[in-house]
Structure 1
Amino acid sequence: MTAPDPDGLLAEQLLRLTRRVHRIQKHHLERRGLGVTPAQSRLLRTLAHYGSPPRMADLAERLEVVPRAVTTLVDGLEASGKVRRVPDPANRRVIRIELTEDGRAALRELRAARRAAAEEILAPLADEQRAVLGDLLNTLVDGAAAPHHGGPSV
């Protein structure tokens, strides 16, 4: 059982620390100069998980953003040659988004940069500490995904 945190100070501190770790990772990626924003990176990673080119609406749903946000991201990635819009073979009025070779190369660079950033960030931790941290973060993610019952949330 954990000690109570009646004022929520520990919870606030933990959330502040997780945001700082995220900013450190973002800074590491920016230093690599890949020319891809974090939002574009997320779209590229999401796009890579589809077996065939998805529609913009599919991407918006998967990313949990409004379709207009996906349009803006795709516009930027298309301008840099990382994705292209292609007509759906079954319905030419439907546009699908596919990765280009430049997009796949950018994804490889992003993955390598993310791994390098993770290694630098986690360097002070021993393997056992990394495992414990992973378990704790999984517990938080699983808890956040579970439906909440009870009193109102703030």
Structure 2
Amino acid sequence: MDTPDADGLLAEQLLRLTRRVHRIQKRHLQTRGLGITPAQSRLLRTLAHYDSPPRMADLAERLEVVPRAVTTLVDGLEASGKVRRVPDPTNRRVIRIELTEDGGRVLRELHGARRAAAEDILAPLTDEQRAVLGGLLDTLVDGASAPDDGVDAGRGAGRAC
């Protein structure tokens, strides 16, 4: 008789939870009428982690996507007034991306939407269970894979976003 693959079951549970998180976040985004996609919201949140406006290549690396994908996201966000392209002060051939005032407002709304989604997802857990889950998730995220160190910088702090 076959025994269940415990790691396979855990992986499936994590994937199902991830899909649920995305569905709930998407619903909260739509409810708030922000007019942005989940991918655009991720780019805005990523922009907020930079001290100075990053290059599109920096964003592509941080988001772990091809540069063309960032261009498409920036095009949409720029058209709606949430980001703008600005020349690099030291090299005019380099273009940097910065949040606009409206982008900052949307980012604050995103923060609220993510908090509401987290409340929905975590509602069945006690405070103690939440603390245990947080510790387990930190262990999984921090110990994920050494080659990606630095790429996910700031992700742990993003849990509150």
Shorter-chain TM band: 0.7 to 0.9
- Kept after mapping to 1: 8 A contact 2:28/2:117: yes
Alpha carbons of structure 1 residues 46 and 12: separation in structure 2 relative to 1, 3 Å: closer
Query: In the TM superposition, what are the counterparts of 1:1-154 in structure 2 within 5 Å?
Result: 5-6=4-5, 9-22=8-21, 23-146=23-146
C-alpha distance 142-57 of structure 1, shift in aligned 2 (>3 A): same
TM-score when scaled to structure 1? 0.83
C-alpha distance in 1, partners of 2:129/2:42?
A: 27
When Rg is computed on C-alpha atoms for both structures, the one with the higher figure is 1
SS of the residue corresponding to residue 143 of structure 2 reads helix
| 1:11 partner amino acid | L
Residue 92 of structure 1: how far off its partner (Å): 1.1
Structure 1 runs (4+) deviating above 4 angstroms are none
Q: Secondary structure at the match of 1:97?
A: strand
Going from structure 1 to structure 2, the CA distance change for 1:109 and 1:9 (only over 3 Å counts) comes to: same
C-alpha distance in structure 2 between counterparts of 1:49 and 1:17, whole Å: 28
- Kindly indicate whether the alpha-carbon contact (under 8 Å) linking 2:25 and 2:113 is maintained by their aligned counterparts in 1: no
**Structure-1 separation of matches of 2:50 and 2:57:** 13
Paired residues of 1:56 and 1:96 also in contact (CA < 8 A)? yes
Question: Structure 2 CA distance, aligned partners of 1:11 and 1:35?
Answer: 35
- For the residues of structure 2 that align with 1:70 and 1:16, how far apart are their CA atoms? 25
Scaled by the length of structure 2, the TM-score of the pair is 0.80
Letter in 2 for 1:17: R
Calculate the aligned-residue CA RMSD, in Å: 2.0
Letter in 2 for 1:114: R
Give the unaligned 5+ runs of structure 2.
148-161
Query: How far is the alpha carbon of 1:44 from its aligned partner?
Result: 0.6
How far the C-alpha of 1:42 sits from its partner, in A, is 0.9
Q: Which amino acid aligns with 1:15?
A: L
Residue pair 2:43, 2:63 contacting (<8 A) in 1 also: yes
Distance 1:87-1:13 versus aligned 2 partners, 3 A rule: closer
Count of residue pairs brought into register by the alignment:
144
Identity %: 78
How many angstroms apart in 2 are the aligned matches of 1:64 and 1:12?
21
